[in-house]
Structure 1
Amino acid sequence: MKLNLTGLISIIAVTGVMAQKPQQVKVIKQKNQNKIDILIGGKPFTSFLYPDSLEKPVLYPVHAANGTVVTRGFPLNPQPGDPTDHPHHIGIWFNYENLNKLDFWNNSYAIKPEKKKDYGWVKTDKILETADGTTGKLTYHANWTDQQNNVILKETTHLEFSGNENERVIDRVTVLKAVKDATFFDAKDGLLGLRLAHALQMPATEDQKFTDNKGNVTIVKAGTDHVANGNYITSAGKHGNDAWSSRAVWCKVYGKMGKDSISISIIDHPGNTNYPTFWHARGYGLFAANPLGEQIFTKGKSVKNLHLNIGESATFKYRIVVANSPHTTTGGQLTQYAVQFALK
């Protein structure tokens, strides 16, 4: 891998990933709020939200460089036509369905109090660093706890933000250190998640049923949703629904929003466990990278349980690229991004 990467450095130098002029990034802590705003080129990119009212920290909303919001508004700021399924899907987040038999992924305000005991929380307790520049930086500490605030994992996450006239990039490095023996049991829902704006969903080819937080069921008839126009493609050449459960270095969702083409790409890192990751990419708008869901994705052919003894840690690195232009980010450009990211 190192030899291949070294050989491709010259390609990066010639073609120039992020060759456009980098824009200045501002990382601004809002007074008396658990909120940090990230501006690129003087325009909102995203906000890091970590209030006690959320069950995990999130980046929300997320804007393309042209200002278009590429994440779903519901439940924090519902937009007309927003699907109201899965209220735990907010912006960009990082957690897991089954850690020591606790569900961190599906926890939200919609869970009834008597059932909360089965769910975990990710609670941000410290902002360790913020920095402005052509690369903005934000580092935070959080605890993965049960409902009694017993800490299972300590999380330290470093985020780097950068961008130019047509692109926005997030590099995320998360270190999880076990305070207790910690087992990530093989499960479908994890690890890095993003909920797409309505337009980036795939058009439904069959009727879909959505249940909101009050138990109300909405059936979307195939062919009646004229907003959704998204599609997936992976570095391994999988398209559409075939991206789900497949493995690849990167996965891209793309579609039209207004007059521009929009794409969001997630890139895996060769240092991550089970590289290249499985893609939990759903047509209804969930876009996730989950290296720990091997059993469901292989239909039971293999299982991946990740265990950390007390004091042991695991590191996960991901790059997210949001682009807008007449044409979406090409596969060649994403491969260059992946090569560049692998060297970090």
Structure 2
Amino acid sequence: MLWIKKINWGAVAILLSLFWGTQGTLQAQTDQIKLVQKDAEKKVEVLIGDQLFTSYYYPESIAKPVLYPIISSGGKEITRGFPLAPRPGERVDHPHHVGHSMNYGDVNGLDFWNNSDAIPADKKERYGTIRHTGISEIKENKNSAELAVTMDWLTPDSKVLLKEKTRFVFFSEGKKRGIDRITTLTAQEEPVFMKDNKEGVFAIRVARELEHPSDKPELFTDANGNPTTVPSLNNEGVTGKYRSSAGKEGDEVWGTRGEWVTLDGEIDQEKVSVVILDHPDNPGYPTYWHARGYGLFSANPLGQKELSGGKDILDFKLNPGESVTFRYRILLYSGEHPDDKKLNSEAKNFSK
């Protein structure tokens, strides 16, 4: 064992420190968030390391810019594929539900929520469109990145009702990923009325695995009285369940208020939780939740009469030149379902 006495332990310590330092550098590089602008494809990709997290996507084939897809750190798509990239066994209802979007069902009498290529040409005069107009800033930090964009909310004859400035902040903390959206809407030449309507505001259409299991078809009617049937499907692998900060669970979350809602489930045997956090500075805080078991997960602070059964009402208005700002956070957990204590702490941190 004489060879042990000949070891230069100081050199060993240096080598170990270099090794672990390299490992730390590699981990930092892996978690680094990059924004890749692809103008020809009308999108900005958000990469964590070399893995796609999401894309800001703004083709004119859909009626508003979206974040699509949204992918967990475990590589699971938490957004529905239809209508952009349909997957076997998923629902094909509500073609206007694409990834994550932010819009509303009644803006000066126009429906920005339900617009899609499924609307007949002779009915398009009832619908508004949101169009991407520019990228203001791309900023990359160590474990976060920021994307600032502009949009116009347009009437069918291309008149601008609202100008939108949105800043997305993408971040990563281990197996948790997050998206902050700070959106400012400014009325232009005429007053803008956002009449009380259940169709809005901050929405994600989730993957089939995160829906609530259902054994019967359901019929839903939009603001224009158009019915949409959501059929009953095979429930194999369908595991979703809503839970709110107010203690509501499952379908009882719909039409109630809360500071946050989490949607817990499993995709390919991996625990996944999708969380939306409201912010105290938002109109109508704490928001009402337009959270449907068939996969629509939406915070709607403006549709208070519809969602409360007439108990509350908020017909929101902006005069020319006036602005309103909305702030929301999406958290995406992989491998765990966070408890109420953790989510209350997340909400507190977001409110600062």
TM-score between the two structures when normalised by the length of structure 2:
0.87
Matched with 1:141 is 150
Matched with 2:231 is 219
Moved over 2 A (4+): 20-23, 205-211, 215-219
Q: Are positions 1:35 and 2:43 aligned together?
A: yes
Q: Are positions 1:153 and 2:162 aligned together?
A: yes
Cα separation, partners in 2 of 1:252 and 1:107, compared to 1, 3 Å: same
| 3-state secondary structure, aligned to 2:252 | helix
Instruction: Check whether the contact 1:23–1:162 (CA below 8 A) recurs between aligned residues.
Output: no
Cα separation, partners in 2 of 1:270 and 1:113, compared to 1, 3 Å: same
Q: Are positions 1:301 and 2:311 aligned together?
A: yes
Q: CA deviation at 1:110?
A: 0.1
Alpha-carbon distance in structure 1 between the residues aligned to 2:170 and 2:90: 27
- Post-superposition Cα deviations, 1:144-186, rounded to whole Å, max 9, x if no partner, equal 0101110000000000000133111001100000002101000
Alpha-carbon distance in structure 2 between the residues aligned to 1:175 and 1:218: 33
Which residue among 64, 72, 79 is the counterpart of 1:71? 79
Task: Point out which structure has higher relative CO (alpha carbons under 8 A, 6+ apart).
Answer: 1
Higher share in helix: 2
- Post-superposition Cα deviations, 1:262-321, rounded to whole Å, max 9, x if no partner, equal 000000000001100000000000000000111111112232101000000010000000
TM-score between the two structures when normalised by the length of structure 1:
0.89
Q: CA deviation at 1:208?
A: 3.5
Cα separation, partners in 2 of 1:216 and 1:209, compared to 1, 3 Å: closer
Q: CA deviation at 1:143?
A: 0.5
- Post-superposition Cα deviations, 1:91-129, rounded to whole Å, max 9, x if no partner, equal 000000000000000000000001001000011111101
Alpha-carbon distance in structure 1 between the residues aligned to 2:280 and 2:42: 33
Give the gaps of 5 or more residues in structure 2.
Answer: 1-26, 222-226
Alpha-carbon distance in structure 2 between the residues aligned to 1:131 and 1:166: 22
Which residue among 174, 188, 200 is the counterpart of 2:183? 174
Instruction: Check whether the contact 2:161–2:187 (CA below 8 A) recurs between aligned residues.
Output: yes
Which residue among 212, 216, 230 is the counterpart of 2:240? 230
Cα separation, partners in 2 of 1:310 and 1:333, compared to 1, 3 Å: same
Paired letter, 2:156: Q
Q: CA deviation at 1:334?
A: 1.3
- Which structure has the bigger radius of gyration? 2
Cα separation, partners in 2 of 1:260 and 1:267, compared to 1, 3 Å: same
Which residue among 266, 273, 276 is the counterpart of 2:276? 266
Alpha-carbon distance in structure 2 between the residues aligned to 1:247 and 1:199: 25
Instruction: Check whether the contact 2:100–2:204 (CA below 8 A) recurs between aligned residues.
Output: yes
Matched with 2:328 is 318
Which residue among 173, 184, 191 is the counterpart of 1:164? 173
Alpha-carbon distance in structure 1 between the residues aligned to 2:265 and 2:218: 20
Aligned length: 318
